[in-house]
């Protein structure tokens, strides 16, 4: 195996490992891994012709014939980290950023990664069934990303996500509309298009993602409920501090806001404008705790 292919395999492992640490999101870690491996793909090219294939693509990509010969099964995983062109990686990473980032924020990195990985594997297996025994090289994160789309559609159809309609950027489109449209196009393309894009892998990944999400859904609901209860407990402590119209509005936003980071920003805003009920001094905000800067007053913390 090419030296750079070995490095790429190490990058796959490292990016998954890093994704499970607290500092980095799984989505961003996967994106970094894919980009670095694409860089390795480029520098391992021996010539730059249109049909040039790099050893990294050849050795880490999956071929349906492997299911018959029983070789290179590791490529079931590695294929989803390898891309064929700038456009291929650009669009996949853009979708991973938009869809994966949103899903991970909702269901947590472990569940998100399980869906991503399994959908990627199931997608390529589905494509292999259609192209049984063939030597065609299948690469790319699309199957895995399709899985994230399927999961997002099943779990949060009414939430709004940013979307591209060709070159037009739409900041808020309901998931059912954007992902639903995308899925309809994939299904239509299976019948229309015979080009190099593995639409069956997209559909396979998508269905796998939706199925896994429905299996995880009870656990996700319990976790969501717990988060909401913990937060309600906290906002009730803020009620007595919301003395002005401005603070009442901020509190209402804190209660409604679904995104943790935005909620925190509003909590900081709240702390900055509220005054200590005991001594009237300004308050400081540390994570989810509001404290008086001069006396011992503090709100209830988690
Ligand atoms: Zn005070």
CA 109/CA 233 separation, integer angstroms? 25
Whole-number pLDDT of residue 81: 97
Whole-number pLDDT of residue 300: 62
CB-proximal residues (5 Å) to ion ligand 1: 276, 278-279, 281, 292, 295, 297
Taking phi over 0 as left and psi of -120 to 50 as alpha, with beta for the rest, 168 belongs to beta
By the 10 Å C-beta count (0-12 exposed, 13-18 middle, 19+ buried), 69 is classed as: exposed
Prediction pTM value = 0.78
Whole-number pLDDT of residue 122: 96
CA of 254 to the centre of ligand 1 (A): 23
CA of 271 to the centre of ligand 1 (A): 13
Per-residue pLDDT 10s for the chain (302 aa) are 889 999 999 999 999 999 999 889 999 999 999 999 999 999 988 776 666 788 999 999 999 999 999 999 999 999 999 998 898 899 999 999 999 999 999 899 999 999 999 999 999 999 999 889 899 999 999 999 999 999 999 999 999 888 877 778 888 899 999 899 888 888 888 887 777 778 889 999 999 999 999 999 999 888 888 877 766 667 777 888 899 999 999 988 888 777 777 888 888 899 999 999 889 999 998 877 888 999 988 886 44
CA 274/CA 227 separation, integer angstroms? 25
Whole-number pLDDT of residue 185: 85
CA of 277 to the centre of ligand 1 (A): 7
CA of 294 to the centre of ligand 1 (A): 5
CA 113/CA 20 separation, integer angstroms? 9
Whole-number pLDDT of residue 51: 66
Whole-number pLDDT of residue 257: 78
CA of 77 to the centre of ligand 1 (A): 57
Whole-number pLDDT of residue 77: 96
DSSP3 helix / strand / coil % (the chain, rounded to 5): 65, 10, 25
Whole-number pLDDT of residue 49: 65
CA of 278 to the centre of ligand 1 (A): 5
Q: Tens digit of pLDDT for each residue in 123-165?
A: 999 999 988 989 999 999 999 999 999 999 999 999 988 887 7
How many other β-carbons are positioned within 10 Å of the β-carbon of residue 241?
20
What architecture is the 3-222 domain classified under in CATH?
Up-down Bundle (1.20)
CA of 283 to the centre of ligand 1 (A): 8
Whole-number pLDDT of residue 233: 61
């Amino acid at each position: 195996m090419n030296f750079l292919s070995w490095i790429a395999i190490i990058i796959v492992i490292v990016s998954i490992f890093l994704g499970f640490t607290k500092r980095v999101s799984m989505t961003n870690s996967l994106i970094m891994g894919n980009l670095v491996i694409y860089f390795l793909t480029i520098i391992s090219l021996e010539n730059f012709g249109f049909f040039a294939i790099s050893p990294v693509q050849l050795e880490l990509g999956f071929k349906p014939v492997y299911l018959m010969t029983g070789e290179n099964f590791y490529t079931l995983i590695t294929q989803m980290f390898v891309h064929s062109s700038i456009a291929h990686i650009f669009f996949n990473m853009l979708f991973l950023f938009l869809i994966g980032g949103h899903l991970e924020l909702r269901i947590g990195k472990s569940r998100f990664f399980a869906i991503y990985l399994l959908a990627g594997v199931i997608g390529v297996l589905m494509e292999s069934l259609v192209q049984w025994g063939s030597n065609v090289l299948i690469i790319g994160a699309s199957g895995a990303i399709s899985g994230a789309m399927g999961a997002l559609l099943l779990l949060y159809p009414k939430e709004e996500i940013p979307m591209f309609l060709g070159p037009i950027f739409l900041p808020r489109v309901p998931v059912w509309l954007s992902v639903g449209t995308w899925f309809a196009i994939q299904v239509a393309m299976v019948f229309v298009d015979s080009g190099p894009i593995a639409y069956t892998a997209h559909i396979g990944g998508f269905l796998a993602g939706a199925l896994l999400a429905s299996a995880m859904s009870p656990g996700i609901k319990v976790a969501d409920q717990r988060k909401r209860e913990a937060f309600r407990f906290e906002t009730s402590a803020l009620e007595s501090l919301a003395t002005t119209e401005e603070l009442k509005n901020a509190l209402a936003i804190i209660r409604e806001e679904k995104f943790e980071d935005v909620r925190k920003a509003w909590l900081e805003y709240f702390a900055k404008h509220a005054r200590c009920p005991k001594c009237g001094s300004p308050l400081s905000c540390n994570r989810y705790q509001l404290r008086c800067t001069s006396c011992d007053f503090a709100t209830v913390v988690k």
